[in-house]
Amino acid sequence: MPAPTDPAPGTRQPVVCVEGLRKSFGDLLVLDSVDLDVAPHESIAIIGPSGSGKSTLLRCIGGLEQPDAGKITIDEFGLDASLPAREVRAAVRSLRGRCGMVFQSFNLFPHKTAIENIMEAPRVVLGDERDALVARAEALLDRVGLADKRDEYPSRLSGGQQQRVAIARSLAMNPRVMLFDEPTSALDPELIGEVQSVIRDLVSDGLTALIVTHEMRFAAELAREVVFMDAGRVVERASPETFFSDPETDRAQRFLRRIGDGSSLRSPADAPRPAGGTPR
Amino acid sequence: MELVLRHAVFLLRGAYYTLNITVVSMTLGFALGLVIAMMRLYGPGWVRGLARGYVSFMRGTPLLVKVFVVYFGLPDIGIRLGPLVSAYTALTLDAAAYLSETFRGSILAVPRGQVDAALSLRMNRRQTMTRIVLPQAFRVAVPPMGNTFIGMLKQTSLVSVITVTELVRSAQLLIAQYFVVMPFYIAVALMYWVMSTLFQIGLDRVEARLARAY
């Protein structure tokens, strides 16, 4: 299974480019002019207090929310919220195929088996041929370590296994970028490791990924860059080393203090974890 | 008793019409109910209002009145329907109202995340509805649908008043001929019971099959 992102070595043309993105729900301004570039094979962790707009940003990029203003470009394909409503809606729809979304609550289709979950969209959307598809789906299941759960229904899988199937399901559509929205927040502590290690493997194989997470240690190990959001804005963007040891802005410093001893990265207070809880 | 047996074929023909009317009206009511549920959930404002008004009116009026309106009233405006078609029409309109509420509730019971997941996989609205939402909603809808179904089986007796020779009217014709009441009505009651039981068994099968994944 090739990495879902083209190598295109040398070019640092961003895969995802977000400019001036704004989104409100009613009176509540959730995203207030967000700018963000994601280079090919780059993995970015998005962190910040709850309500800071992280998930909404992901849902806009993934085409599940329609922004009020701003632009989202994935490769040469663009959404510009200032165009007529009809065109914007069409653009929102076509963002969907380019991003794979992984949700906090997995959202596997409960009436379909693991492999059917993976094959569903390629079959009905892309019209892929069944035999080729079965082989590809099996390879994907193998990649997330669940080849033996091929014919199980989601209700028979643990949360961690469900999330791994959900990751495989997104990969089956060959997205240009994977969007993880708190992929481990709904998991029992002992199941977090298996999901994180799948994501880590994908990232080290060159997957382009945006990961919203509350697991500071995971963010630090995984991401090439950390984006800190607060009150609907990107407040700071830095390498994990810089961000966690020497955050530039006040707000980031306060955030890290509040969630625990951020500079040491050893004990994020919001996510107590058994020591060494993320086996590779 | 031997009177009942002697006329078993006649009574069974009546039972056939009861079943026929139930199945046809239920099938049409299922389709119409689904359309009304969709209108009420996803239509623009005036479509929702229309659907809500329909459900309110159909649930708020007795079936017998609807049967009369269709059979005796519509000819006044030039629409003449035979007894059987009138029966189908009145029962379909009635069942659709109840079923649409069942469907609406079951569709709303499917978590929002299922739609998010399907859309993010580039499935369009129609694919999301038919392949992801409705199969899950249907499972939730089966038990209340069973209520409507079995209720309808018995409600069909009302169309005896517009000369459809279903089970009850078959019995009435025999009673008028022999002036014997009890055996015929007892036989009819038992035949309804057997038919409802068969439906119940069928519905239980469907439910068990849909529950396999859970």
Domain edges within chain B? 2-213
Say which residue the tokens 């993880």 belong to: A180
Picking from B118, B122, B136, the nearest residue to A110 by CB comes out as: B136
Which residues in chain B have Cβ-Cβ distances shorter than 8 Å to A93? 124
For residue A270, what pLDDT is reported? 44
Name the band, by pLDDT with cuts 50, 70 and 90, for residue B58. Answer: very high
Beta bridge partners of A72: A18, A79
Does residue B178 register a pLDDT over 70?
Answer: yes
Residue A6 domain-assigned (yes or no): no
User: Which positions 82-141 of A are in contact with B (Cβ < 8 Å)?
Assistant: 93, 96-97, 99-101, 103, 105, 107-113, 120-121, 124-125
Q: What is the value of ipTM here, to two decimals? A: 0.85
By C-alpha distance, the chain B residue nearest A178 is: B120
Share of chain A above pLDDT 90, in %: 75
Structure tokens at A117: 């979950």
Is B117's CB within 8 Å of A99's CB?
Answer: no
The CA distance from A111 to A123, in Å, is 16
pLDDT of A130 strictly over 80: yes
Q: How confident is the model at residue A12 (pLDDT cuts 50, 70, 90)?
A: low
Q: Flag whether residue A186 sits within 8 Å of chain B, measured between CB atoms.
A: no
Range scoring the smallest mean pLDDT among A73-77, A218-222, B78-82: A73-77
CB-based contacts of B24: which residues, under 8 Å, 6+ apart?
B88, B92
Q: Residue A1 has what pLDDT?
A: 46
Name the percent of chain B lying above pLDDT 70.
100
Burial of B43 (0-12, 13-18, 19+ CB in 10 A): middle
Residues of B in contact with A101 (CB under 8 A): 116-117, 120
Question: Which amino acid belongs to residue A170?
Answer: S
> For residues A268 and B113, which has the higher predicted lDDT (pLDDT)?
B113
Residue A148: which residues within 8 A CB-CB, separation 6 or more? Answer: none
> Does the pLDDT of residue A200 top 60, yes or no?
yes
Q: Is B131 within 8 Å of A64 when comparing Cβ atoms?
A: no
**Window from A31-45, A266-280, B72-86 with minimum mean pLDDT:** A266-280
- CB contact B127 to A (< 8 Å): yes
CA atoms within a 13 Å half-sphere pointing along the CA-CB vector of A218: 33
The confidence score (pLDDT) of residue A11 equals: 54
Q: Tell me, what's the pLDDT at A128? A: 87
Residue B47 has what pLDDT?
Answer: 97
Query: Is a pLDDT exceeding 80 seen at residue B87?
Result: yes
Average the pLDDT over A35-55 and give the result: 93
What are the start-end ranges of the H helices in A25-150? 54-61, 85-98, 114-121, 130-143
B199 Cβ contact partners less than 8 Å away, ≥ 6 residues apart = B146, B149, B150, B153
Mean of pLDDT over chain B: 94
CB contact under 8 A, B116 and A64: yes
Which residues from A are below 8 Å from B134, CB to CB? none
A97 — pLDDT class (breaks 50, 70, 90): confident
Minimum distance, in Å, between the CA of residue B213 and any CA atom of chain A: 6
User: Stretch A132-151: mean pLDDT, rounded?
Assistant: 95
Are the Cβ atoms of A110 and B123 closer than 8 angstroms? no
pLDDT at position A265 over 90 = no
Closest CB to A105 among B113, B124, B135: B113
Q: How far apart are CA B187 and CA B183, in angstroms?
A: 6
Which of A3-17, A212-226, A261-275 is the most confident on average? A212-226
Residues 8-67 of A with CB under 8 A from B: 62-64
Lowest mean pLDDT among A75-79, B24-28, B75-79, B160-164: A75-79
A10 found inside a domain = no
Per-residue pLDDT at B195: 95
Out of B116, B210, B213, name the one closest to residue A153 (CB): B213
CB of A216 closer than 8 Å to CB of A259: yes
Q: Which residue among B118, B127, B136 sits closest to A111, beta carbon to beta carbon?
A: B136
Share of chain B above pLDDT 90, in %: 93
B136 inside 8 A of chain A by CB: yes
Separation CA B171–CA B145 (nearest Å): 29
What distance in Å separates the CA atoms of residue A159 and residue A169, rounded to the nearest whole number? Answer: 15
Q: What is the band of A275 on the pLDDT scale with cuts at 50, 70, 90?
A: very low
Minimal Cα distance from B123: which residue of A? Answer: A125
CATH code reported for the domain at B2-213: 1.10.3720.10
Counted domains in chain A: 1
Query: How far is the alpha carbon of A125 from chain B, nearest alpha carbon, in Å?
Result: 6
Domain extent, residue A216, equals: 16-109+176-258
- Contact B131/A124, CB-based, under 8 Å? yes
Interface of B with A in 53-72 (CB under 8 A): none
Report the CATH number that the domain containing residue A223 is assigned in CATH.
Answer: 3.40.50.300
Residues 208-267, chain A, touching B (beta carbon < 8 A): none
At residue A113, does pLDDT exceed 50?
yes
Q: Is A184 helix (H, G, I), strand (E, B) or coil?
A: coil
Distance from CA of A112 to the nearest CA of B (A): 7
User: What is d(CA A103, CA A188) in angstroms, rounded to the nearest whole number?
Assistant: 16
Is the predicted pLDDT of residue A264 greater than 90, yes or no? no
At residue A21, the 3 state secondary structure works out as strand
The whole-angstrom separation of Cα B143 and Cα B211 is: 12
Residues of A in contact with B114 (CB under 8 A): 107, 109
- Helix pair A114-121, A130-143: axis angle to 10 deg: 120
B117 at interface of A, judged by CB pairs closer than 8 A: yes
Residue B213, pLDDT score: 81
Q: What is the mean pLDDT of residues A94-112?
A: 93
